[in-house]
Amino acid sequence: MKKLVPTAEMTLGPFFPREFAQGMNDLTHLDGRPAEGEVIEITGRVTQLDGKPLDNLVLEIWQGDAQGRYDNPDFLGWGRAATDSDGVYSFRTIRPGGRAPSINMLLLYSGLMRQLQTVMYFEPGDHSPKLVAKKEGPSRYRFDIRLRGEDETPFFDD
């Protein structure tokens, strides 16, 4: 059977509706019920080549539950956040479990012609140290993202 060619991705543009990007960065509750596991906060700043922080950039995450499962009907491991004028995003979520716990991240923005995929890990391992979040407190992690230039974050093309 002839395989169809996936539609070309294009930039999100500068006018992604505000209401689409707000109020979706808390994964700790679903339908009013709290999720099981350790509640953590992840924040970071997203910058471009010249170090300028990027405002209104959209990040989406996808992660497993506290056991590392991706099919838990009581935990929707998906969230979305937009950066503020300082380029800062934040998520409240559950620390994922499993082997080499990680959170998949996808970035969408004006001037990004395609989505960028990266991964945040909690511990060093078989991956770039640039992909490991910094622990900033008991349940606080920091994961800065540099799109291009010095200390550029590794991105994936799957």
Stretch that binds other proteins, among 36-44, 87-95, 104-112, 133-141 (CB under 8 A): 104-112
Ramachandran bin of 25, using left for φ above 0, alpha for ψ from -120 to 50, beta for the remaining angles: alpha
State yes or no: residue 60 binds other proteins (CB under 8 A): yes
The Cα–Cα gap between 69 and 65 comes to: 5
The Cα–Cα gap between 97 and 117 comes to: 21
Local structure of 129: helix, strand or coil = helix
Instruction: Name the H helices within 69-136.
Output: none
Nearer of residues 5 and 129 to other proteins, judged by Cβ = 5
Q: How far is the CB of 88 from other proteins (least distance, A)?
A: 17
Local structure of 131: helix, strand or coil = helix
Nearer of residues 111 and 136 to other proteins, judged by Cβ = 111
Provide the 10 A C-beta neighbour count for residue 58. Answer: 20
Stretch that binds other proteins, among 34-42, 71-79, 87-95, 135-143 (CB under 8 A): 71-79
State yes or no: residue 28 binds other proteins (CB under 8 A): no
Nearer of residues 137 and 157 to other proteins, judged by Cβ = 157
Q: Which chain residues interact with other proteins by CB under 8 A? A: 1, 3-20, 24, 30-31, 48-50, 52, 54, 56, 60, 62-64, 70-71, 73, 76-79, 102, 104, 106, 108-117, 147-149, 152-158
